[in-house]
């Protein structure tokens, strides 16, 4: 085992951190033009197409290096929401095109999605189907050589600014794993509308909204992979997302941990720095231990992704570990700052941004179900005589 990243990767991460700290500071209000400008800058840095092959305009990074890049992005930028949008675009929407798209689909979409010219959104969650992803109500009905999409999606990251939507719909209602199909739908297609942007407590720099489909026409050549393979496409995208996207939180946690250590060294009470009090120092050590443990689990999952492992346990455990560590580290950072912790600042921002991480990409409870199922727990067995 080698826990050190190669020198060229470390140099690239340092450049990403410098760029993010300089160009991606949090904004007080969302502006679509400003968002697009920042997205273009991130594209020039190779971030929005980090794991896309070079032949299609991407940086061609493997999963471990892509995770390191996202970690650097999270460490350098205090706008975790924007970083989240970049990662959701890349891992949930673009990588499915890389892995399942036809050559024509790759040539059409990947160069612009990798350069920062265009933005992608992944449409899966519905008002009545969040964790129960195999029972979507959005329908795709065959209509003489094409399909008509009807239904709605919610909590869709990047929806207000997206140029293409990767949409999961039921082509065989009640068909279970083989009843879903993935479609590529261009923004502006008749019948496709995007709702008002959400006003959220956390991840404020990431625009999200509902998406509505009213007889939206899509051709057979807009299907990703094949009809009935939507669940496979979704599962593959979640492996990338549950691993590489959560590296952003590792970077954000490290940044807040560093500032917390600096704070407890400087803040004095009873004539001494509070970092000298055992109750404080032990809490800081716990913060560090959680971060280090979560980081090791995430990079183990990323390494498995690079090897083509079919393991579903490592990504699920990594997602659980990072999200739970981020929430607890945010709570600790606020506590150690005292009243300053509840004022506007990076400690309370981390906490607000971390709470949703236990929900998206499949709730942590669902991840535990997935791990239990992989272990064979809960499966029906023949009754003993």
Would you please indicate which residues are annotated as catalytic (active-site) residues?
241
Measured CA to CA, the distance from residue 38 to residue 44 in angstroms comes to 10
CA distance 9 to 271: 44
Q: How far apart are CA 159 and CA 181, in angstroms?
A: 20
**Exposed/middle/buried for residue 318 (C-beta within 10 Å: 0-12, 13-18, 19+):** buried
Cβ-contact 300, 308 below 8 angstroms = no
Rounded distance between C-alpha atoms, residue 6 and residue 65, angstroms: 9
What is the distance between the alpha carbons of residues 196 and 209, in angstroms, rounded to a whole number?
A: 6
Q: Are 362 and 319 in contact (CB under 8 A)?
A: yes
Place of tokens 């800058």: 41
Q: What is the distance in angstroms between the CA of the first residue and the CA of the last residue of the chain? A: 47
Beta strands in 195-283 (DSSP E): 208-219, 223-224, 268-269, 272-273
Report how far residue 372's alpha carbon sits from residue 364's, in angstroms, rounded to the nearest whole number: 12
């Amino acid at each position: 085992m080698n826990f050190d990243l190669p020198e060229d990767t470390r140099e690239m991460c340092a450049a990403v951190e410098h760029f993010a700290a300089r160009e991606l500071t949090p904004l007080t209000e969302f502006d679509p033009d400003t968002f697009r400008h920042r997205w273009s800058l991130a594209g020039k840095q190779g971030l929005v197409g980090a794991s896309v092959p070079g032949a299609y305009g991407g940086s061609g990074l493997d999963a471990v290096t892509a995770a390191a890049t996202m970690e650097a992005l999270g460490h350098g930028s205090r706008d975790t929401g924007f970083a989240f949008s970049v990662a959701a675009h890349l891992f949930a929407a673009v990588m499915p095109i890389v892995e399942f798209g036809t050559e024509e689909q790759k040539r059409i979409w990947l160069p612009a999605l990798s350069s920062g010219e265009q933005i992608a959104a992944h449409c899966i969650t519905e008002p009545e189907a969040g964790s129960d992803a195999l029972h979507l109500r959005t329908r795709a009905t065959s209509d003489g050589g094409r399909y008509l999409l009807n239904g709605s999606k919610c909590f869709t990251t990047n929806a207000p600014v997206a140029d293409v939507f990767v949409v999961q719909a039921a082509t065989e209602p009640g068909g279970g794993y083989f009843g879903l199909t993935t479609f590529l739908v261009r923004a502006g297609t008749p019948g496709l509308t995007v709702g008002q942007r959400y006003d959220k407590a956390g991840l404020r720099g990431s625009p999200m909204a509902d998406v509505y489909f009213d007889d939206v026409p899509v051709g057979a050549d807009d299907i990703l992979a094949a009809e009935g393979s939507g669940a496979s496409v979704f599962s593959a995208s979640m492996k990338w997302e549950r691993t590489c996207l959560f590296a952003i939180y590792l970077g954000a946690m490290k940044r807040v941990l560093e500032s917390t250590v600096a704070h407890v060294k400087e803040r004095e009470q009873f004539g001494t720095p509070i970092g000298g009090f055992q109750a404080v120092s032990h809490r800081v050590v716990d913060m560090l231990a959680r971060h280090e443990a979560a980081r090791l689990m995430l990079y183990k999952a990323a390494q498995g992704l690079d090897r083509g492992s079919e393991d579903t346990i490592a990504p699920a455990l990594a997602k659980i570990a990072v999200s739970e560590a981020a929430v607890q580290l945010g709570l600790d950072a606020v506590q150690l700052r005292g009243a300053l912790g509840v004022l506007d600042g990076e400690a309370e921002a981390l906490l607000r941004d971390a709470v949703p991480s236990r929900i998206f990409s499949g709730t942590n409870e669902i991840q535990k179900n997935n791990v239990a199922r992989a272990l064979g727990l809960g499966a029906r067995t023949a009754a003993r005589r």
